[in-house]
Structure 1
Amino acid sequence: MASYAARRGPRTGATLWRVLSDGHKHVVPDGVLDLMWFQNHLVVAGADTRAMSFESVPGEVAWGLRLAPGVAHALLGVPADELTDRRVALSELVALPARSFEVGAADALEQVFIDLWTRADPDRSALRLAASLDRAARDGLSVRETAQLHDLSERSLRRLSNRVFGYGPKSLAQIHRFQRALHLARSGLPLAEAAATAGYVDQAHFTREAKRLAGRTPAALIG
């Protein structure tokens, strides 16, 4: 398995992470988009609906910024659903000044983020709405409840969710539920208890969703 570390990134729009590879990386859906420095390229990682596997050189370090809800769409000007299940070179989406990563990938990556933020000057109200929709999904609200809470029609909510998250509100809620159960299980909670706490009907329900989203059983994911 690869080692992983994270800390708060620049401003409030991203969290910086670092992964040391063991030669293979199995990435499962987590409901977010990332800006990465990976194999000497700046890459935008779209929201995933299924597990992604990557081969790399053991010991290779990848750096990234986990973007807060709505930030990728605001900074790149691209609907998030156009990036779903894709890894796209940042240069294909925006033009920015060249940055040297030789002096420190973390600092250079954060400066790229600041350049994007300054260039886009995001609408704070739109980011607050995206954050609120994400909280509703994490809380397990239904599509109808989320739409009513935000004074939106269900159709408008689905369109907005696709645009800022890469998929609809139901899928977003399912992925957050899966991630919560996985976090609880990795923290030492028995699988059945982790499943129930996260909102699954039972452990079998959690297992089916893990296989669908991650291609593996919960036991394999935490092992």
Structure 2
Amino acid sequence: MRLEYPVLVDELLSKLASLKEFYTEHTPIFTSAINGVEDSMGRVAIGQTRLARLARISVASSAASVLGPIIESGDMNHTLTRSVDRLMTLIREISGEFDVEQEPFQDIPTPRGWKHEKNSFKKTTFDGDIFTITKRSNLPGGQWTVFYFGAPVAVAENIGCATRYADAFISLRNRAKGNLAVQAARGPRRTPPGPSFK
């Protein structure tokens, strides 16, 4: 049994609460995410059981629901970049990789830098992050879903939009691992609006 799961979930809730204070326009989304984590957190460390596994997936998916709106805002200084990067790391550590929902699709060219695997496109970064794009019809916002280690992070209208979401997440992770000491010395600054996801 991984005794650190409760500690990871506690930190996850703390990150969500602090980010909620900044992204006030997305308060309902953050509130729903926090409630979802709290509903499942009591079961995440029940040994190596199916119930614990499902609880960890639920916790990760609830937390990941805030990532799309954050990326869309394009409003992020170096402190926020590190906070969101840590949130993604916690999601990765809690969930691991798990199977994602997908539907068959045809005649869709494989995006550059991605691999076509069965009914999905997958990209693994140099740092080991895994992003997957699958088709899931009848979802609000579009029929393409972007997953991070199996947790859905964004829904897009087309495959190009989906890859832009993934690239934005990868860029954020790279910035967080980059020269943040220089940014910190310059003081907080906001980035211009991010790429269009429409």
State the TM-score, normalized to the length of structure 2: 0.32
State the TM-score, normalized to the length of structure 1: 0.29
The structure with the largest strand share of the pair is 1
